[in-house]
Every structure is written in structure tokens, then in C-alpha cells.
Amino acid sequence: MDRYRPIYHFTAPSNWMNDPNGPFQWKGEYHLFYQHNPAAPEWGDIHWGHAKSADLVNWTHLPAALSPSRELGEHHCFSGCSVVSGGEVTLFYTSIGEGDRNPVAGAQQWMARGKDLRNWRKAEHNPVLTSDLHGDMNVTEWRDPYVWKEQDGWRMLLGGTEGGSGCGMIYQSDDLEHWTFRGILYRGEESIWECPHLFRFGDQAVLFYSPSGPVRYISGTIRNDRLTDIVHRGTADYGGWEGYYASTGFVDEADRRILLGWVPEGSRGSRFPEAMDWAGALALPRIVDLKPSGVLSMAPIPEIEALRGECCRFTDLAIGQAPVHTGVRLTAFECVAEAGRRAGGEWIISLFVSECGRESTDVRLCPADNTITIDRSRSSLFPGVHISPVQGKLPAGANDDPIKVRIFADQSIIEVFVDDETCLTARVYPSLPDSSGIALHADSEMTIAKLEIWEMKAAAFAAESN
């Protein structure tokens, strides 16, 4: 068994994967596409991988949905979305070639259609959008279409850079084939926007984007194809390239807004000593809701709890400067901890602790500084592995409100949720074979009101039978 390969997070059968693309649910079945190199565990020759699921936990791998049409000058099928309409599914994606068709200045937007969800026909009139739509406006890094329906027709959102700023560009169509440019939905302060997408909550809208760093969101109102009346700007996940990037979302048949994101593999570094035939994973699907303050609440889908195994429970656990070892040794688990905000100073949950103590990854909560950190400084003895911290802000709360932390560890992935609002994801690669302990300590004496550690079983991943 590959000790670093996740057992309950989605991965491709082998080789490279990155961004999730075009998820949807149709007739009770979930479908997921993703950026995929079927030939090697490194980026290149980008196809659209495809999988289906009844519960977003257990998956059946399907044949690749899209492959580059090299006879038409296409070398990569970059990210995009799906639209379910009229008894068929339409895939929109960014088509990339070489020379004048490069991703910086020559991207095109293509479409493909399918009814049986196995065979996809690229439109003969591709490309359906080119940069000529922008007139004199110089838009670069133009990619990642996201389509939804308004009362007066279809809208498409694309990321790009214009005038040195990352932007979300918006387009309109009556038939999904002929598009007009409506302008800039919103201009950011960053230099690039990738994978823009949005959720609607009644009259409110939340716009997500990936600015070559932690995924961000903006909540406000869309009026006349502009995002206005901004209520809040937030971070969907503080992981960025170290743990969470290129999010996308969809609304399922239960009207749940579900967020997906890519867990990159770059934290291995360039000198990783163990060969692996895979790279990249997906974070756990998250249910997203909008609070009146404009802040998002985010929590893992409850279906993931079906993988829980044996549980070890503690109540009113006293901890101090000396580590308190739980006696639990696992590399795939869920940990839930609750403590009062005034219970003490910084408290630490140490994961993947080695018997000798030389390796551990510490989740540090510091209410005084309003921070939560995945401290990777001692996570691995391998040279070149990334050990920089991933840090976020603790959600606001009254002094008498407890802090609830949920940690999902899966071989080399750590996802942290605090009060269903702050999310952090990171990769870690322990080198020692016994780095599997779980311990707690604090900088002063305090009490952990509740601690639960659940063993997590493996999700089912299978190939479709003929």
C-alpha cells in the first residue's frame, strides 16, 4: 500500500489530476470531471477524467470524457463546467493549443454535448467564444468557464487578467451557442483570477475565485451583470497551493450548495525520495451556506460519516505543557475537539506523532491571537518537503462560546474546520514508519471539554464494469 495515498479522499485511478470540473447531479447520480493526465503522474496532456457516485463518498471511475483534438490544434482541455438542459449535458471548457493558441493570449472556449454521459461530441462550430468578443480590451489568462441560467437567458463567467488585475468576465446567451460580452462582473486586486464560480442565495450571490493563492470569496448582489453591494470578503480555505485550490461548485437535487476543491501535490517538493504513480486529490465535498453577515458556513457533507469506524472518546480532558498521548495510533481518522475560548492560552492537537517524537504535525489554536495554524515544521524528516505553516483566522465568537474543531486526516492530507466557518487544508509526508500518534498539550493548564477520534475506513473506488 502507498502510505501517502488517501483512502477516503477522491483520487484518479493513477497519474496526475488537478482541478475538479463541471460537477452535477442528474437522476440521483453525481458526476465529477477533473483535469487529468492519463499518461504520467505530472502535469501535461490534459484530459477530462470522469467519475460517478451515489453519495459523493464512494466512486466509480468512468472513461475520460474529453481528450485533446490534436487534429484541430488542441493540446489541452483546460477547466470548465457542465450544464444539464433539454435532456442532455453540455460541457464547456477552455481549449489550449500551441503557438497562437497558448494559454496566456490564445485561449478559446469550446463545448461538447452528450446524452448517455459516456460519449461526448465536440461541437462542429467550436470555438463558441474567442477573445475577439472583447474588442479593444486586452484580456489575458482567459479561462475556466462557469455557466448558469438567469431569467433573461444564460450567463457565462470566465477568469482572466485585464489592465493588470484579475477579473471575472461575464457573457450572455439565449441558446448556449452564441455569446455576447457583457463586461466585467467584478475586478479584483490580485493579478490573476482562475476558476471563478458563484452560488446564489435568493437575492444574494457569493463569487469564488482562485488568485494563485488561497481561494477567496465575495458576497454581495448581482445587478445588471455586476457584483455590487458587497457585504463581505472572505477566504474559503487558507491552504492555497499547499492544500486547497481551484474550487468549483454545484447545487444538487436536495438544493444543497456543494463546494469542491483540488488538493495539490506540490508540498512533496522536487526531491521526494519515494516514487508514486499518482498525484493530486480532491478535498472533501463541503456544504456551503450564507449567514446574514455575508460570511459563509462550510462543513463536510454528512455522508462522509458513513466511513466512521471505532471511536475513542474523552471528556473533560486536562492538558498542560507535557503532551497527553491519547493512545490512538491512526493515519486516517476524524478528530473532533471542543474547548472554551477562555479555557487557557494556545492549545495544540498533534497528529502523525512518531514514537521518538521527532516527527509530528501540530494543529495550533490560539484564541488570544485569533489564529489557527497547521504547523508543519516537524512534519517530515525528508529533505525538500514543504514545512511552511498554513494559518487562518479563528471565527469570531463570544467569550463563553466553545471552539469546535473538526480535523480530517487521510494519510497525507489534513483538513481542518473550525466552527464550520474557517477551513484550512495542508499536505504532510511523514518519513518515519510509526508517525501515527495523536497527542494534545497546551502552554498552560486547561481542559478539553470533549475529544472524539474516529477511525475512518476506506471509501470504495471501482472501475465501471462493461
pLDDT number for residue 10? 98
Give Cβ neighbours of residue 38 (< 8 Å, ≥ 6 apart).
15, 45, 47, 49, 64
Task: Count Cβ atoms within 10 A of the Cβ of residue 232 and give its class: 0-12 exposed, 13-18 middle, 19 or more buried.
Answer: middle
| Res. 342: pLDDT tops 90 | no
- Is-catalytic flag, 152? no
Which is more confidently placed, 227 or 400? 227
Interstrand relation of 226-237 and 361-366 (parallel, antiparallel or unpaired): unpaired
Residue pointed to by grid coordinates 461575464: 170
CA atoms of 447 and 324, how far apart (whole Å):
12
Pair 360, 379: CB distance under 8 Å: yes
Model pLDDT, residue 340:
87
Tell me the pLDDT tens digit for each residue of 50-104: 999 999 999 999 999 999 999 999 999 999 999 999 899 999 999 999 999 999 9
Nearest-angstrom CA–CA distance, 430 and 3:
10
At 263, list the grid cell.
488538493
CB 389 within 8 A of CB 374: yes
For 419, list phi and psi in degrees, rounded to 5: 50, 30
pLDDT for the residue 343: 64
Q: Which CATH architecture is the domain 15-300 placed in?
A: 5 Propeller (2.115)
Work out the number of other CB atoms within 10 angstroms of the CB of residue 106.
18
pLDDT of 397 strictly over 80:
no
Q: What is the pLDDT of residue 182?
A: 98
Q: Is residue 171 within 8 Å of 133, Cβ to Cβ?
A: yes
* Confidence category of residue 455, pLDDT binned at 50, 70, 90: very high
Summarised one tens digit per residue, pLDDT across range 110-122 is 999 999 999 999 9
Residue 396's pLDDT is what? 85
As beta bridge partners, residue 50 has 33, 62
The kind and range of the H/E element at 81 are strand 76-85
Residue 438 identity: I
C-alpha Rg value of the chain to the nearest Å: 22
Average the pLDDT over 442-456 and give the result: 96
Which band of pLDDT confidence, cut at 50, 70 and 90, is reported for residue 230? very high
Nearest one of 169, 49, 153 to 107, comparing CA atoms: 169
Query: Domain residues of the chain, as ranges?
Result: 15-300, 304-462
Whether cis (ω within 30° of 0) applies to the bond prior to 127 is yes
Q: Which class is 304-462 in CATH? A: mainly beta
pLDDT digits (tens, 9 = 90+) for 1-55: 689 999 999 999 999 999 999 999 999 999 999 999 999 999 999 999 999 999 9
pLDDT at 315 over 80: yes
Question: Mean pLDDT throughout 224-235?
Answer: 97
CA distance 186 to 208: 11
What's residue 135's pLDDT?
96
Proportion of the chain above pLDDT 70, given as a percent = 99
Please determine, for residue 407, whether its predicted confidence score (pLDDT) is greater than 90. Answer: yes
**Across the chain, what does the average pLDDT equal?**
96
| 3-class state of residue 292 by DSSP | coil
From the list 19, 144, 237, 362, the catalytic residue is: 19
pLDDT digits (tens, 9 = 90+) for 109-168: 999 999 999 999 999 999 999 999 999 999 999 999 999 999 999 999 999 999 999 999
pLDDT, tens only, 364-385: 999 989 999 999 999 999 999 9
457, 309 contact by CB (below 8 A):
yes
Q: Is 436 exposed, middle or buried (0-12, 13-18, 19+ CB in 10 A)?
A: buried
In terms of phi and psi (left: phi > 0; alpha: psi -120 to 50; beta: otherwise), the region of 404 is: beta
Q: Please give the C-alpha separations between residue 235 and each of 192, 298, 416, in angstroms, as whole numbers.
A: 16, 11, 14
Confidence band (pLDDT; 50, 70, 90) for 400? confident
Name beta bridge partners: 437: 329, 353
